[in-house]
Structures are given as structure tokens and as C-alpha cells.
Chains A and B, each alone.
Chain A
């Protein structure tokens, strides 16, 4: 296995039973993702993008197939190691931001460092730097409700970066944003991917997002339809 491969999916499959009907949310996905790559996953809703993310992040278990991260089969990890993976190795960005409403931007961003065991002062200092780097250095003490949608997504990006993860999983990061704000968020993510060398995997059905990416994976009905160079 090449050193440069960070994620490998092998025959990844997830079926659900719903009301006696079997739903093939993901059906035999094979792909290798390189370190530092910017990969866009495009497909209509229900094509399996979110299921794929949940499996890569260890939030869900596959019906069949394997997820390897840095050569480690994550189905072999115990609860502690899975939590560590989500905490240190993977940063999540959601369509709905999912910030903790009662905490300030600074507290939200420093939260992952708490679980990583970073001393409090160090974590807050890191959070301040990250918020400054996403252009919110002046708004660190605002709560999510006092920020615009675009600013909330910037806070969420800063939070995803808090523990310097190797992988960023962004599920429809521009889905709740207007055109211009969405473009700014894409530029920000792309910049982080280039300057910090983080592997960025973004699910989207927004075709504007894919122009910057190295490869585009088209999905339909839980399977990969085609893969294109960006």
C-alpha cells in the first residue's frame, strides 16, 4: 500500500431494513483517496453521500466491505480508538453547521481540543488563532445565534481544524448558504486543503464546488457512476 494513500474503501456496502424493504444506501463502493487530495462527491440526495461519510468517520458500521484509514481497518478499532479517530484524525463540517448554541465561537472551536486532552489555555489560544485565520478574529465571543450563516460555517470550519486532522469530511458545506457566501466557503476550504495539506472530501450537489477539486466522484443509487479529474 502506497504511503500517499490515506483512505481506501473496499466493496463498501450499507443496507438498511426499513418497513420490511431493503434499502441499498451504499452498494459496493471501491476507491482510493490520496493524502492531500481534494475530492468532490456529487450526486442527488439519496445517492449515498452521507452514508459514505458516516462509514468513513466510523459513525456507522458497513453491512459489507472495509474502510482503511492510513492502512488501518477501522472495523478493528474499539470505542476508544474510534473516538480518537473522530477527534484527532477527522474534522467534520455539516450542512447545518451544528455548532453548540450555548457556547461562544471560541468555546465551540476549542471543544475538540478538550477531548484531545490539550490543556485549556493552549486549546483556547489555538481556537483564537483558527478563528482569526478564517476571518472571525473579532467575533470570538459571539454565540452562533449572533452570527450570519456564512460566519457560522466559518466557525464550524475552524472547529473541524482544531486538532489538525488529516482528513476533512464536509457534507454539503454550502447547502444552506447563498451563492456568494458559498463560494467564499469553498475558497476557504480549498485554501486550507492547499496550505495545510489536509485531505478534503466534500459532498455536494452544487456544481460550482467541483471546479477546484482534484477529482470528482459521481454517485447514483449508492454506487460510483464515474470518476473524473477536476
Chain B
């Protein structure tokens, strides 16, 4: 009880948010899996198309016949990503309602609005990262299944390593970005909750 004097500052840094967010994901695995698979499927679609394109180019460079992706397939991918984002927004919104009292309690023990926001965004960042990596590898498998019959399955060895690396980083970052974007609205809603009402809330 040394702090009878002037008020100080509460602290909740990125490290704290990461640790707590990781705990939440681990312990609410079902909800996290829905979000991860939602973004993973969208990214898998993207990754399939991009790898199909890479495989075609590698095939042509190796003297094969001219193959190309139809433009409507890119439109489909775009739609798939939007569906992912909407799905995540919906799932996180439900999670916020489930955690109403919990958010109220956190505010009672010293959490500020920005800490609640940070916590939800960090959770979504972790989920987006995992979903992105999963989706990337699913996409490679998808592309091999769809083109392997024509180009040969060893086509992946003919794609330059730097190109694979760029695709990996690109799809992972896009996944994190989309996941965070999808979470901003529900997370802001959670952060602005009035603790008095949140504590009174019965599910």
C-alpha cells in the first residue's frame, strides 16, 4: 500500500497481450479453429491460383505448351477472401458477446479500452498468422493436384525458391492483414463496452 499519493499508470504492453491472447486461443480452441479455418480456406484459394500460375510459367519456360489462368478464377478468389473476412467478423462478434462479463471484469481490475482492443487484435493476429501459413501449404497441394497431371508433380522444383518465399510471405501477411481488418469492428465494440452494463449482462 505504498501508493497512497498521486495516481500512476496502468500497463499492458504488446508482450502481455501476446501472452494472454495466446492463452485465450489455446483454451478456446473451437472458436479459434473456426477463425483459422475460415481465413486458411480463403488464403488456400489464393495460394492455389498463384502457384498454378507459377507452375504454368515454369512449365512454359521448360518448353511446355502455353497454359494460363482464366480471369474469372481471380474473381472467385476475391469473393472467397471477402467471405473469409465476413465470416471472421461474425465469429469474433459472437465471441465478444460471450465474453461480455469477462470484458467488464477486466475493466474492473485495471484494463483500459485500448487494452481490450489490443487483446482482441492480437488474438486475431495470431489466428491470421496460423491461418495464412496453413492456407499457403494447402494452396500448394491444391495447385499440384489441379496441374500436376499436365505439368508433372516435379514442377514445384522448377519454381525459383525466391518466388516461393515471396508467395509465402505475401500470403501470410495478407492473411494477418485481413484477419485484423475483420476484427477491428467487433474489437472496437468490445473495447467501448461500459463495464457497468457488461457486468450486468446475462448470457
Contacts and interface: CB of A to CB of B under 8 A. Distances in A.
A80 B102 CA distance: 20
A84 B196 contact: no
Contact of A103 (B10, B23, B108, B113): B23
A116 B1 CA distance: 13
B56 to A, nearest CB: 47
A144 to B, nearest CB: 11
B9 A159 contact: no
Interface of B: 1, 3-4, 6-12, 16, 19-20, 23-24, 27-28, 101-102, 104-113, 115, 195-196, 199
Grouping DSSP codes into helix (H, G, I), strand (E, B) and loop, the B interface class, with mixed when no group exceeds half, is helix
Contacts of A101: 102
A80 B10 CA distance: 7
Given A84-B7, A98-B199, A116 B23 contact: no
B8 A84 contact: yes
B109 A111 contact: yes
Nearest to A88: B3
Contacts of B102: 98, 100-101
A87 B10 contact: yes
Nearest to A103: B23
Contacts of B9: 80, 84, 117
Interface string A139-177: 000000000000000000001001111100000000000
Nearest to B104: A98
Given A86-B110, A100-B105, A115 B10 contact: yes
A59 B105 contact: no
A81 interface: yes
A218 interface: no
B1 A83 contact: no
A164 B1 contact: yes
A79 B7 contact: no
Contact of A77 (B7, B10, B115, B195): B7
Given A94-B199, A114-B16, A166-B1, A102 B7 contact: no
A70 B4 CA distance: 7
Contacts of B104: 98
Contacts, number: 93
Given A54-B196, A103-B23, A116 B4 contact: no
A79 B113 contact: yes
A60 interface: yes
A102 B10 CA distance: 23
28 contacts: A54-B196, A57-B108, A60-B196, A72-B7, A80-B10, A83-B111, A83-B112, A84-B8, A84-B9, A84-B10, A84-B110, A86-B108, A87-B10, A88-B8, A88-B10, A89-B3, A92-B108, A98-B102, A98-B105, A99-B105, A101-B102, A102-B28, A107-B23, A111-B106, A112-B109, A114-B20, A115-B110, A115-B111
Interface in A48-62: 54, 57, 59-60
Contacts of A165: 1
B115 A115 contact: yes
A186 interface: no
Given A87-B110, A88-B110, A98-B105, A116 B10 contact: yes
Contacts of A162: 109
Contacts of A197: 1
Contacts of B199: 94, 98
Contacts of A166: 1, 4
Nearest to B4: A70
A169 to B, nearest CB: 9
A85 B113 contact: no
A60 B111 CA distance: 15
A117 B27 CA distance: 24
Contacts of B8: 84, 88
Most buried by B among A60, A79, A80: A80
Contacts of B105: 94, 98-100
Given A83-B110, A87-B110, A115 B4 contact: no
Interface in A16-58: 54, 57
